[in-house]
Amino acid sequence: MPGITREEVAHLARLARLELKGEELVHFAGQLDDIIGAVARVSEVADQDVPPTSHPLPLTNVMRADEVRPSLTPAQALSGAPAQEQQRFKVPQILGED
C-alpha cells in the first residue's frame, strides 16, 4: 500500500481549514501513514468468530436500586429559607422577565 503523500495531507488540511507549513505536511504524512498501518494490522487480527464490542470487559451497572425513604416535608425543607412562596424558595429576580 503506498504511503500518504504530502499532497494528500495538504488536501486534508485545506478541508479542515488548517494552515500547515511544508515541514508539517511531511511530518503529518508520516504520522498518518503509521496510523493507517496500525488500523490495517488491527483489521487483519479481527476474525469472523470475534463479535464487535464497545468495551473489552463486560460492564455492569453499579447503581443501587431505587428505594422509597422518608424525606423532608415541604415545610421542613423551607423552614430555614429567608423567603418562600407557594411551597418554593423565593429568590430575587435576576432577569428582566416576568
> Domain residues for 21?
1-43
Q: pLDDT at position 93, please?
A: 85
Residue 17 domain-assigned? Answer: yes
Specify the number of domains making up the chain: 1
Residue 76 domain-assigned? Answer: no
How much is the average pLDDT of 18-33? 92
Could you give the C-alpha distances from 51 to 32, 39, 58, 61, 65, in angstroms and in order? 27, 17, 13, 22, 31
Residue 56 domain-assigned? Answer: no
Contact 13, 19 (CB under 8 A): yes
Mean pLDDT for the chain overall: 87
Residue 13 domain-assigned? Answer: yes
Amino acid at 56: P
How does pLDDT run across 64-74, given as a tens digit for each residue?
Answer: 888 999 999 99
- The CATH number that applies at residue 6 is 1.10.20
Q: pTM for the complete prediction?
A: 0.45
How much is the average pLDDT of 11-40? 92
Q: pLDDT at position 42, please?
A: 80
- In the three-class reduction of DSSP (H, G, I as helix; E, B as strand; rest coil), residue 54 is classed as coil
H or E element at residue 77: helix 74-78
Residue 54 domain-assigned? Answer: no
Please tell me what DSSP assigns to residue 85: E
Residue 89 domain-assigned? Answer: no
